[in-house]
Structure 1
Amino acid sequence: MTNKILLTSFNTWLSHQKSNSSDDLLAKISRIQSLPDSLTYLRKLPVDFQEAPNLAIAQINQIQPDIIICCGMAESRQKLTVESCACCDTDILKTKVNLEPLVADLCTTEISHEAGKYVCEALYYAVLKHIRNAQLPAKCIFVHVPILTLENSDKIVGDFLSIVNRLTINHSQLTTKRAGTGAPPLPQIN
């Protein structure tokens, strides 16, 4: 079965930025011909707290993806970081994806519990909330992408492709389930 996957990236927002590493990564992924799943790209989202989530949710409603991978740039990080949760004021929403096996043995990826308190986190929170409120079966993660260099680019792309493959192949093992039951996962809200 082919999974429908939505991949998002951001545009730049500061004058010194020649590009956004999240979009640089998606540009590299878009050139790979051998990916089996149906990929939809929503690239260069505006760095705007309302417009970015609105555009992403409109695309989710239109294509009804099975998997959503939102990406953003993290200039100060050295590794890909998969965000476990997103906050808005005191509300915390967690991804339904079990992140430990998703990133196990990846050389340039780790789990983060701090999505940044900026537009990246606002987008992640809005998408997780939309999935919960609309009771969509989609899985969603947010990946922060470091600046891509000649030294790290191949490793970052390799890890990202592994994440995509693991999300599509091992979806039942990567979804958090209610303890002791075979029931579908509940949204994790603290």
Structure 2
Amino acid sequence: MTPSTLPTVLVTGFEPFADAPVNPSGEVVRRLAELGHPDCRLVGEVLPVSFARAAPLLAAAIEAHDPDIVIALGLAESRQAITPERIAINLADARIPDNDGAQPRDAEIEHGGPTARTTGLPVKAIAHALDAAGIPSDVSLTAGSYVCNHVFYELMGIAAARPGLRAGFIHVPATPQLGGGPQFTLDELERGIRIAITTVIDRMGHDGDLDVAGGTTQ
């Protein structure tokens, strides 16, 4: 591809939360935005850990950059693998307050909206590519019910209204700085997300190859 025909990929992550000094999802995004990716025009956006503010900022970034692919990242500290997510659920139920102090419980994200929205990314292909590169990966069913899930749900609503937009969510594990295992340094997470981006780009234009088609379920 020539530079003018490269797809635009928007990758988002989150700022630190819950008194943690860093958030690896945001740090990976900053690295990717600085270093770029040979197969795309890469744009990065670090979102606040806020039920009220994160999704509007994501929507504004999509409007500004008109991406072909959006990969949203978040932190799942207890996991031992990079986990592409299948489903976002219409539920905000926060175990801890967000960075604005909000703590919704048993609340709908979108009143009367679909119960769930499914990813538009080839999640199994991403997991297989990561495993083949020696990076532990597994497909996760849902993204929980905190801000990550909130952003994922809203993202898939945006994608449904923008034909051709491939979008989805990937959780990354903790780095050693947060008590995670030594195999998941920031360098390794960056490498893993680069592989995920390449995998999605390689599958563009092959809708029948998607492991989980984008859409909604009731």
Range class of TM-score, shorter chain: 0.7 to 0.9
* Cα deviation 1:118-168 (Å, max 9, x = unaligned): 000000000101221x23321111111111235322443322111100111
CA distance in structure 2 between the aligned counterparts of 1:81 and 1:143, rounded to whole angstroms: 6
How many angstroms does 1:186 deviate by?
6.5
The SS at the match of 1:28 is helix
Q: Is the 8 A contact 2:85 2:169 kept in 1?
A: yes
> Who is 1:78 aligned against?
80
1:26-41 paired onto structure 2 within 5 Å: 26-32=29-35, 35-41=38-44
1:95-110 paired onto structure 2 within 5 Å: 95-107=119-131, 108-110=136-138
> Who is 1:171 aligned against?
204
1:50 is the counterpart of 2:77: no
Q: 1:186 to 1:75 in 2, by over 3 A?
A: closer
Q: Is the 8 A contact 2:129 2:196 kept in 1?
A: no
CA distance in structure 1 between the aligned counterparts of 2:66 and 2:162, rounded to whole angstroms: 12
Q: Is the 8 A contact 1:97 1:139 kept in 2?
A: yes
Flag the structure with higher strand content: 1
Query: 2:23 aligned to 14, 17, 20, which one?
Result: 20
1:69 is the counterpart of 2:71: yes
TM-score by length of 2: 0.74
The SS at the match of 2:205 is helix
Query: What percent identity do the matched residue pairs reach?
Result: 23
> Who is 2:96 aligned against?
none
CA distance in structure 2 between the aligned counterparts of 1:101 and 1:83, rounded to whole angstroms: 12
Q: Is the 8 A contact 2:29 2:45 kept in 1?
A: no
Q: Is the 8 A contact 1:71 1:142 kept in 2?
A: yes
Q: 1:20 to 1:38 in 2, by over 3 A?
A: same
Q: 1:174 to 1:76 in 2, by over 3 A?
A: farther
Q: Is the 8 A contact 2:83 2:127 kept in 1?
A: no
How many angstroms does 1:29 deviate by?
2.5
CA distance in structure 2 between the aligned counterparts of 1:68 and 1:152, rounded to whole angstroms: 23
> Who is 2:167 aligned against?
140
How many angstroms does 1:87 deviate by?
0.5
Give the number of equivalent residue pairs: 180
Q: Is the 8 A contact 1:77 1:146 kept in 2?
A: yes
How many angstroms does 1:176 deviate by?
5.8
> Who is 1:8 aligned against?
12
Alignment gaps of 5+ in structure 2: 92-113, 177-181
* Cα deviation 1:161-183 (Å, max 9, x = unaligned): 11100111221346667xxxxxx
How many angstroms does 1:37 deviate by?
1.1
TM-score by length of 1: 0.84
The SS at the match of 2:145 is coil
CA distance in structure 1 between the aligned counterparts of 2:87 and 2:214, rounded to whole angstroms: 15
Q: Is the 8 A contact 1:49 1:122 kept in 2?
A: yes
